[in-house]
A and B are shown apart, each in its own frame.
Chain A
Amino acid sequence: MNLRPRLTGETLALAVLVLFLVLLPSLATAFFVNFVMTQTLILGLAAATIVFLAKYGGMTSLAQLLMFGVAGFMFGNAALEGGARGLNLGWHPWAAVGFAIVVTTLAAFVLGAIASRTTGIYFLMLTLVYGVIGYFVFAQIVEISGPGGITSIQRPDLLGPPVRLYYAGLLLSVLAYVGFRAIRRTAFGLALQGVRDDPVRMASLGFNVPLHRALAFTLAGFVAGLAGLLNVWWNGQIDPASISIGPTLILLIIAVIGGISSLGGAWLGAFVYVLVFTYLRDLPLVDRIGITEARFNTVIGVIVLAIMVLSPEGLTGIIQRLRGRLRRRAATEPAPSDGRSLPVHTTQKELGGTRS
């Protein structure tokens, strides 16, 4: 492939950003790197799978946190020996990693196959039901977890120092970003976008529409599983409460804050979320207006509500609109295309065709 058209401003900016993130551990405090940034990368990676499904497949999934959790639980079950709960298989850590990834991917394929004939709102509701049922499965079946979850999970020796976990998150995030962008151009990616835009036409052209959806869901589940492994290594434990309905919604909210049809927005949303989560309590006015740490969800909810009122495309949509307005002002003549009609149009596309 030709290298020339790829050297656009966007790829250059991405390269600079990645370089900056690689150098970050020597620039910022250990707390910022190991707590804020590592969490951002993990949540961003998981949220990116939501964006991938929504953007290219027209499927807004609430089951990604379940996949994230399944990988964590499976690793915990396979790697521990002599723990308080779980199967305690006591395998080698990397064998446990393989096991967790295989189980997560298989689960994603089965769930995706069942959901593959539904789209839009139906898909959203069905995946929410998946998430909640998954929560109950781990909360009630004591053989694999039970309500207390699995504790004292060690990460593999290779990732021992916390900063290595940061680099692992960075590596996987970059790979996922580049990979998801590359898939767009492949035969599978093109067919998937065709399925998103007009499933009936794709079916009559001979494409297996449900299979494409199921495979996209499987791929997203696989990547979410990788993020789930990082998460369980970062936390050292996992319990069913961490995949209950609240966190499930939070992951979607992260994708929405960044902009549900922008891949990079997933990490941006995660960054904003982690920043608010970490530093809100330090703001001087917070106590005075009655928002204490415990009222954190109200703040996040109001932020999301405000973003959705302003622009359904999230922060990236707002940034793009501001940029467009600035450019228009610089050109001093009004551009023919109204920046506002675009976001609405794409959202409707994602629904898999809204006809009332």
Chain B
Amino acid sequence: MTPALTDVDRAIRRNRAAALRRPPVLVAAVVVVAVAAWVLLLADGTPAGAAADDPGKFLVTALDAVTFAGLSFVAASGFTLIFGLMRTVNMAHGSLFLLAAYVAIRVQEAMVGRSRNIDPADVGLLDWVVPLLAGAGVAAVLGLLIQQVFLQWNEGQEMRQTLMTLAITVVLADQMLREFGGLAQRMVWPGTVTHFFSIFGERYAATRLFMLAIAVLIGVLLWLWLNRTSIGMVIRAGVDDRQMVRGLGINIRRVFALTFLVGSFLAGVGGVLGASFAGAAPGTDGSWLLNALVVVIIGGLGSLKGAAAGSLLYGTVVAFSPAYLPSQYSYYAIIMTFGLLALVLAVRPYGLFGRPA
């Protein structure tokens, strides 16, 4: 290493040290330490109890956090992928999510041959995977259609595109209410994964781990696709400089269409997972759009790493705050999500891995 380089290295390190002394960073660090101390030692009188006294509850909560993070990651990854390349905020993401869920439920009912009270034992792995692909496929095609009809010709006009997708959300939500009704419906997990096992004397559902496994698989596949294939290389280059990619003679319109297809497909996969995990009903679209938004705001828009980090943080807060707030204040758990947002934005206004648009 040349001396000049070491100098630069040292300067960067000094900058980092200086950054750590900034007040917001200091506040964030203090808050994190305080929360950790509370959860580990002090949290008596909460539903879960202090982690040192009851490690089982702590472990279950941690598993809840990670599995919920997995689902949030799937929901947010498509959103962030589309934004990263096209700068399009696809507010219809939640609608695609819910549509895929409804379609998958219908297909599963048709495959099992019963519309109500499906027993998990009757559901083979195929009776779950085929509806998953069908639902996600419908979402992908609809997403591509939306992109081709409404978003392709006004590229760069972010606000106009956002408002268009918002209008599409309103229409889709209304039409889904007409088609699928207002009652909550549920996708049934395949029988082979529907059982419980025990850790530290607590029962835990294997389906949640199955969901986590799928999320990790999707994350790995996405990473490989973006980092190890030539089309992924084009997408990463497009994230950095669209004009240059175009100038190199690459048909970026086709890349846009493909990205939208994949992003919508991911929304659909998230929807089917979500419908198996928590059910689908009118309003699910809005709450999952919220989850995706929170994840990308925390993690930084357009970054896959950010989506992973954001969903882990968000999952942790969502799982831990109802369990470790004093029992009479459990209602206030939602404020913790807001606190997390405020904390992250105070330190990094564009999210953990984001950068100014």
A positions within 8 Å CB-CB of B: 60, 114-115, 117-118, 120-122, 124-126, 128-130, 132-133, 136-137, 140-142, 244-246, 249-250, 252-253, 256, 260, 294-298, 300-302, 304-305, 308-309, 312, 344, 347-348, 350-351, 354-356
B positions within 8 Å CB-CB of A: 87, 89, 150, 156-160, 162-164, 166-171, 173-175, 177-178, 242-243, 283, 286-287, 289-290, 293-294, 296-297, 301, 331-335, 337-338, 341-342, 345-346, 349-350, 357
Q: Indicate whether A121 sits within 8 Å of B167 (C-beta atoms), given known contacts A129-B293, A137-B335, A309-B150.
A: no
Determine whether the beta carbon of B166 is less than 8 Å from that of A253: yes
Of the residues B150, B293, B350, contact of A118 by C-beta under 8 Å: B350
Q: Is the interface of B mostly helix, strand, loop or mixed?
A: helix
Determine whether the beta carbon of A312 is less than 8 Å from that of B157: yes
* Min C-beta distance of B336 to chain A, whole Å: 10
Of the listed residues B162, B301, B333, the one surrounded by the most CB atoms of chain A closer than 10 A to its CB is B162
Q: Indicate whether A300 sits within 8 Å of B170 (C-beta atoms), given known contacts A125-B297, A129-B294, A140-B331.
A: yes
Determine whether the beta carbon of A308 is less than 8 Å from that of B301: no
Residues from chain B with a CB closer than 8 A to the CB of A120 are 158-159, 357
Residues from chain A with a CB closer than 8 A to the CB of B175 are 298
A245 to B160: give the CA distance in the assembly, Å.
19
Residues from chain B with a CB closer than 8 A to the CB of A117 are 345, 349
Task: Write the chain A residue with the least CB distance to B282.
Answer: A246
Determine whether the beta carbon of A133 is less than 8 Å from that of B337: yes
Determine whether the beta carbon of A122 is less than 8 Å from that of B301: yes
Q: Indicate whether A114 sits within 8 Å of B157 (C-beta atoms), given known contacts A124-B89, A301-B174, A304-B170.
A: no
Task: Write the chain A residue with the least CB distance to B178.
Answer: A295
Q: Give 21 CB contacts A-B under 8 Å.
A: A114-B342, A117-B345, A117-B349, A121-B158, A125-B296, A126-B345, A129-B290, A133-B334, A141-B332, A244-B286, A246-B173, A249-B170, A294-B178, A304-B167, A305-B150, A308-B164, A308-B167, A309-B150, A312-B163, A351-B158, A356-B156
Determine whether the beta carbon of A141 is less than 8 Å from that of B331: yes
Determine whether the beta carbon of B163 is less than 8 Å from that of A304: yes
* Min C-beta distance of B302 to chain A, whole Å: 11
Known A245-B289, A308-B164; further 14 A-B contacts with Cβ < 8 A: A114-B342, A122-B301, A129-B341, A140-B334, A249-B166, A294-B177, A295-B174, A297-B170, A297-B174, A300-B170, A304-B170, A305-B150, A308-B160, A348-B157
Residues from chain A with a CB closer than 8 A to the CB of B334 are 133, 136-137, 140
Residues from chain B with a CB closer than 8 A to the CB of A114 are 341-342, 345-346
A250 to B167: give the CA distance in the assembly, Å.
9
* Min C-beta distance of A246 to chain B, whole Å: 7
Of the residues A60, A136, A249, A354, contact of B156 by C-beta under 8 Å: A354
Task: Write the chain B residue with the least CB distance to A311.
Answer: B160
Q: Indicate whether A351 sits within 8 Å of B301 (C-beta atoms), given known contacts A133-B338, A356-B87.
A: no
* Min C-beta distance of A120 to chain B, whole Å: 6
Residues from chain B with a CB closer than 8 A to the CB of A253 are 166-167, 170
Task: Write the chain A residue with the least CB distance to B287.
Answer: A132
* Min C-beta distance of B135 to chain A, whole Å: 22
Task: Write the chain B residue with the least CB distance to A141.
Answer: B331
A141 to B346: give the CA distance in the assembly, Å.
26
A129 to B169: give the CA distance in the assembly, Å.
16
Determine whether the beta carbon of A347 is less than 8 Å from that of B243: no
Residues from chain B with a CB closer than 8 A to the CB of A128 are 290, 293
Determine whether the beta carbon of B163 is less than 8 Å from that of A126: no
* Min C-beta distance of A233 to chain B, whole Å: 28
Residues from chain A with a CB closer than 8 A to the CB of B289 are 245
Which 6 residue pairs across A and B have the least CB separation, nearest first?
A301-B171, A117-B349, A301-B170, A297-B174, A245-B286, A304-B167
Determine whether the beta carbon of A302 is less than 8 Å from that of B171: yes
Task: Write the chain B residue with the least CB distance to A142.
Answer: B331
A132 to B294: give the CA distance in the assembly, Å.
11
Determine whether the beta carbon of B345 is less than 8 Å from that of A118: yes
Task: Write the chain B residue with the least CB distance to A302.
Answer: B171
* Min C-beta distance of A240 to chain B, whole Å: 12
Of the listed residues A132, A137, A308, A309, the one surrounded by the most CB atoms of chain B closer than 10 A to its CB is A308
A115 to B286: give the CA distance in the assembly, Å.
21
* Min C-beta distance of B15 to chain A, whole Å: 19
A190 to B290: give the CA distance in the assembly, Å.
35
Of the residues A124, A132, A246, contact of B162 by C-beta under 8 Å: A124
Residues from chain A with a CB closer than 8 A to the CB of B164 are 305, 308-309
Determine whether the beta carbon of B89 is less than 8 Å from that of A121: yes
* Min C-beta distance of A197 to chain B, whole Å: 16
Of the residues A115, A121, A302, A344, contact of B357 by C-beta under 8 Å: A121
A297 to B280: give the CA distance in the assembly, Å.
20
A243 to B163: give the CA distance in the assembly, Å.
19
Task: Write the chain B residue with the least CB distance to A355.
Answer: B357
Task: Write the chain A residue with the least CB distance to B164.
Answer: A308
A44 to B296: give the CA distance in the assembly, Å.
32
A294 to B157: give the CA distance in the assembly, Å.
32
Determine whether the beta carbon of B297 is less than 8 Å from that of A297: no
Of the residues A60, A124, A246, A305, contact of B286 by C-beta under 8 Å: A246
* Min C-beta distance of A44 to chain B, whole Å: 19
Residues from chain B with a CB closer than 8 A to the CB of A137 are 334-335
